[in-house]
Amino acid sequence: MSSILERIVADKHLEVTLRKQLIPVKQLEQSVLFERKSPSLSKRLKQSASGLITEHKRRSPSKDCINQNLNIQDVAKGYENAGACGMSVLTDMKYFGGSLEDLLTARASCELPLLRKEFIIDPYQITEAKAYGADVILLIATVLSRKEIEHYSILAQELGMEVLLEVNNQEELYKSIMPSLNMVGVNNRNLKTFEVNLEISKTLSALIPDEFVKISESGIRSVSDIKSLQPYGYKGFLIGENFMKTENPGAAAADFINLLNA
């Protein structure tokens, strides 16, 4: 693990410990959203020509400020109107400028399947994701053991959510593949060096069993990037910064999808 990743994970343990004291699991389970039936992101991706998963992200450790001026309500509605398959919402405050309130606002603003994009290191965060309106959780293989991935993915499924596993290399993939996952995302950004290379998706594609929906994440900037990945079996493409750095992410996503489907 890189020093930045180690810091994020260490801070996350502290944050979750505090959150547990503030809002117990029993209280989360009483959320009005807890009984809500989640739409399936994996089904939408299978049926879509574009497979676009959009993202709300204000900043990141690698890019610092991306866009602090946008209203998440407008972003979520814009993405939905553009025809995105789903939306990823960053909920980490310290490093990404996000929050659970962003997730709640996005949920109230659109019907898209929502992914809680977070460094999940505790089952509490999965219950929390459900209570705040998420339909999908992200499990990052770099920071979790096989046992944790199994425990967390089964819990998410029991709560009616889907699971996206994120890997960056062959070792992480082999360690993590199990039936309780729905989607496998290949992060083209190495979380240890922050270098981006789309070849990672191409190399790992053949090693991902066909029962999982394949998603390529990070570094996708153009229609030609997606067209180069589609022959490798990818059905989903997560794009964040490309749209978020514009004044109107929804309009940027709509133009992109129109170009892709042309």
Architecture of domain 3-33+40-261: Alpha-Beta Barrel (3.20)
Residue 55, pLDDT above cutoff 60: yes
On the 0-12 / 13-18 / 19+ scale of CB atoms within 10 A, 98 is buried
Q: pLDDT-based confidence at 68, cuts 50/70/90? A: confident
Question: What is the phi/psi pair of residue 162, to 5°?
Answer: -95, 165
Q: Provide the pLDDT for residue 241.
A: 85
| Residue of 151 and 68 predicted with greater confidence | 151
- Does residue 162 have a pLDDT over 60? yes
What residue type is 47 in one-letter code? Answer: Q
CA–CA–CA angle 110, 111, 116 (5° rounding) = 85
Across all residues in the chain, what is the average pLDDT? 94
What is residue 191's predicted lDDT score, i.e. its pLDDT?
A: 75
Inform me whether the pLDDT recorded for 1 exceeds 60: no
* Confidence category of residue 2, pLDDT binned at 50, 70, 90: low
DSSP state of 163: E
**Tokens, residue 165:** 């596993």
Averaged pLDDT, 156-167: 98
**Confidence (pLDDT) at 61:** 80
54 class by beta-carbon count within 10 Å (0-12 exposed, 13-18 middle, 19+ buried)? buried
Higher pLDDT, 184 or 4: 184
Q: What pLDDT was estimated at residue 231?
A: 97
At 183-196, the pLDDT tens digits run 999 999 887 777 88
pLDDT number for residue 94: 94
* Cα Rg of the chain, angstroms: 17
If you count DSSP H runs as helices and E runs as strands, how many of each does the chain have, helices first?
13, 10
**SS3 (DSSP) at 30:** coil
Cβ-in-10-Å burial (0-12, 13-18, 19+) of 247 comes to: exposed
Q: Tens of pLDDT along 188-236?
A: 988 777 788 999 999 999 999 999 999 999 999 999 999 999 999 999 9
Rounded to whole angstroms, the Cα distance separating 260 from 155 reads 36
| pLDDT on residue 39 | 97
Q: pLDDT of 83-130, one tens digit each?
A: 999 999 999 999 999 999 999 999 999 999 999 999 999 999 999 999
Indicate if the pLDDT at residue 42 is higher than 90: yes
Instruction: Give the start-to-end residue ranges of the domains of the chain.
Output: 3-33+40-261
pLDDT band at 69 (very low <50, low <70, confident <90, very high): confident
Residues in the chain: 262
